[in-house]
Amino acid sequence: MDEFSDADGDDRGSGRSVAVVGAGAVGLTAAHDLAVRGASVTVYERGEVAGESTGRAAGILYDAYAEDVDARIADRATERFRALSGTGGFEFRDAPYCWFVTEPGRKADAIREQVDGMRRNGRRVERIDPDELAAEYPALRTDDVVEAAVSRDAGVADTAAYADAVAGLARDAGVEIREGTPASVALDPPRVNGDAYDAVVVAAGAQTKRVLADAGVTVPVKAYRAQALTAAFPDAIPTFYDATEGYYARPHPEGVLAGDGTEEAEADPESYDERGDDWFVAATRERLADRLVDWEPDVRRAWAGLCTATPDRDPLLGELADGLYVAAGWQGHGFMRAPATGEAIADAVLGGETVPAFDPTRFDGDEVFDVTEGMTVE
């Protein structure tokens, strides 16, 4: 039993066979947790481990949520990230998370309200004076900031390293990971590529809607494109989110990683452009030049990845049909909550409690909705 799991002595999965579709952070966590509880687990991945959204995620980790369900999940995720740190090439690196606005008004009021809610949920957050923030991080320009807050129990991580570490632990626990193997799901009984299982978990990110459609199940999930880049920068910065401009940045081994979160239009997972757009690179360079003291524009690489949205911006997590489970719709927060949501879906498969607010059957599956920003202060 490895220290990443605290399921010692729990053998509810003994004798059960489970297929997991998707070898991203959530699917691999679920596969690992099922296996250490005694289940026989096979993971189907059409590409490679962390080859899609997980490998392209920003790797920002924080528990600063004002809503109680989100706060509990984020707290558990952070606990497990810290427990895994040092396994393989994975490391949880502490990095305070700061969010701010540069204009008075509703968003400034919202930050104050968020801090109150977060503190009620036991989160280690506080409002911070812009001058204090600048004194702590001289490389960050704060003279135009009108309201700011900081979460101290936050960090950053290499997302692919997490997936590789958990995949290694999962294999050690007996999980078979079939890379390069597209999955076709069917029901009655649950099957993948013709093989029957006691349960099937679809955690296929942007491909979730298509995979479930093959089984005749419709879910209200839309893939959307988000972009990020890395650039050289020699000085220390916190992770920060500029809620006025709508972009984020975090410390990164190359210097800084920055992105803008959401393109508010549905994207085709089969044909989206994986490269960073010229307009995005130009806009982000301008923002960084304005926010970072003495920054020289030196962009190293830029890319795009896919996130998934739902009508209410909460995920689908639980049983959709007899023996068929889904874990998707993370609204850009999938990686940072993966250790907890993967654990939750594994527990649901083995008859444990679910997260009622994320029950996937709350929707009919044919809802009409727009893709909206996942990182918001409102």
Q: Residue 161 is encoded by which pair of tokens?
A: 């390293």
Cα angle value 77/80/81 (rounded, 5°): 85
Q: What is the pLDDT of residue 260?
A: 87
Find tokens 């005694």 and name the residue. Answer: 38
Q: What gap in Å lies between CA 127 and CA 97, rounded to an integer?
A: 12
Q: What gap in Å lies between CA 80 and CA 97, rounded to an integer?
A: 18
Q: What gap in Å lies between CA 112 and CA 117, rounded to an integer?
A: 9
The answer to whether position 358 is within a domain reads yes
* Number of domains within the chain: 1
**Which residue range is the domain that position 181 belongs to?**
17-58+159-220+311-362
Task: Compute φ and ψ for 55, nearest 5 degrees.
Answer: -70, -15
The answer to whether position 273 is within a domain reads no
Q: What gap in Å lies between CA 218 and CA 139, rounded to an integer?
A: 48
Task: Compute φ and ψ for 360, nearest 5 degrees.
Answer: -70, -20
Q: What is the pLDDT of residue 1?
A: 35
**123 three-class SS:** coil
The answer to whether position 315 is within a domain reads yes
The answer to whether position 258 is within a domain reads no
Q: What is the pLDDT of residue 377?
A: 64
Q: What is the pLDDT of residue 53?
A: 97
Q: What is the pLDDT of residue 262?
A: 76
The answer to whether position 278 is within a domain reads no
| CATH label of the domain that carries residue 171 | 3.50.50.60
* Tens-digit pLDDT profile for residues 25-47: 999 999 999 999 999 999 999 99
Question: CA-CA distances (angstroms) from residue 143 to 124, 238, 256, 264?
Answer: 25, 16, 21, 31
Mark the ranges of the chain whose per-residue pLDDT is less than 70: 1-3, 5-9, 261, 374-378
Find tokens 């997936």 and name the residue. Answer: 163
* Tens-digit pLDDT profile for residues 60-113: 999 999 999 999 999 999 999 999 999 999 999 999 999 999 999 999 999 999
pTM for this structure?
0.96
| Residues 273, 263 contacting (CB under 8 angstroms) | no
Find tokens 């590529």 and name the residue. Answer: 193
Radius of gyration in angstroms for the set of CA atoms belonging to the chain, rounded to a whole number: 20
Question: CA-CA distances (angstroms) from residue 236 to 62, 79, 287?
Answer: 18, 25, 17
* CB proximity list for 213: less than 8 A, separation 6 or greater: none
The answer to whether position 53 is within a domain reads yes
The answer to whether position 164 is within a domain reads yes
Q: What is the pLDDT of residue 375?
A: 66
The answer to whether position 41 is within a domain reads yes
